[in-house]
Amino acid sequence: MSFFPFFSKEKQSLVDVDLHSHLIPGIDDGAKDMERSIELILSLKEMGYKKLITTPHVSDMFLNSSETILKGYQALKAELTHRKIEIDIEVAAEYYADEHFEALLSKKDILTFGKEKYLLFELSYFTPHHDLESLVYDIKLAGYTPVLAHPERYVYLHDTIDEYINLKSMGVLFQINLNAIENYYSSEVTQTVKKLIAYGLVDFIGSDTHHRRHTKFLKESFSNALYQKIFKHNTILNDTLL
Ligand SMILES: [Fe+2]
């Protein structure tokens, strides 16, 4: 952050680390090519981020393996070095909780981040998982710490608070998308993210950057009154990942 905040033109990120994005070119629905990837990274760097842990999708729609992800990551890292862009970039993945994921889990073929071996996973937006309790148990048994991506986006959880509290008591950490406070997704998602913030249930904040529209909203979110509230009511772990 600027030493003289009143001189800075735009508000900046209050955390140095982002841990959810789709910046590896051409392997999921994020950055389509290297140019767009670099453009998004420069934009995040300008917002004050010092470290980006990028998390390509692993799902039946995006059949990435650890190998394809690491290969894409190496190419991106080489390009950043070539262009002399200084930013710390790491890689993990965002796992969709399906049978393929369970198979990867049993082989421990999982890309994680941080000393706690944080495992970022997502659920179906519309259909509740058939046995989330067992899945969380299996993730923990395999030695990982489950981090649920954008808990505010699952429609079947919108009218509950108990379900969220129950998930947290099972040891699931929550990563909210910052753009949810900017009403990027829907008013229900915004209401839900407000609730999670007020109840102090948030552990990580993420950009979930796929494209330019996301970074545009992200920039706006830093000026949103709710942004300050996140830090007031929650212990945010992003910068433990520096
Ligand atoms: Fe994502």
pLDDT tens digits, one per residue of 90-124: 999 999 999 999 999 999 999 999 999 999 999 99
Give the distance (Å) from ligand 1 centre to CA of residue 187: 19
Written in H, E and C, the secondary structure of the chain is CCCCHHHCCCCCCCCCEECCECCCCCCCCCCCCHHHHHHHHHHHHHCCCCEEEECCEECCCCCCCHHHHHHHHHHHHHHHHHCCCCCEEEECCEEECCHHHHHHHHHCCCCCECCCCEEEEECCCCCCCCCHHHHHHHHHHCCCEEEEECHHHCHHHCCCCHHHHHHHHCCCEEEEEHHHHHCCCCHHHHHHHHHHHHCCCCCEEECCECCHHHHHHHHHHCCCHHHHHHHHHCCCCHHHHC
Return the pLDDT at 11: 85
Q: What is the pTM of this model?
A: 0.96
Report how far ligand 1's centroid is from the alpha carbon of 31 (Å). 12
Domain 15-241 has CATH 3.40.50.2300: no
How remote is the CA of residue 3 from the centroid of ligand 1, in Å? Answer: 32
- How remote is the CA of residue 57 from the centroid of ligand 1, in Å? 7
Residue 6 CA, ligand 1 centroid: distance in Å = 33
Mean pLDDT over 160-167 rounds to 97
pLDDT band, very low/low/confident/very high, at 6 (cuts 50, 70, 90): low
Helices 212-221 and 34-46, packing angle to 10 deg: 10
pLDDT in tens, 170-187: 999 999 999 999 999 999
Lowest-pLDDT range of 1-10, 20-29, 201-210: 1-10
pLDDT for 119: 99
Q: Single out the residue of 155, 193, 157 nearest to residue 175, CA to CA.
A: 193
Looking at residue 207, its pLDDT comes to: 98
Query: How many angstroms separate the alpha carbon of residue 95 from the centre of ligand 1?
Result: 9
C-alpha–C-alpha distance, residues 73 and 91, integer Å? 7
Q: What six digits make up the tokens of 1?
A: 């952050």
The pLDDT of residue 9 is above 60: no
Q: What pLDDT was estimated at residue 172?
A: 98
The whole-angstrom distance between residue 102's C-alpha and the CA centroid of its chain comes to 20
Residue 2 confidence (pLDDT) above 50: no
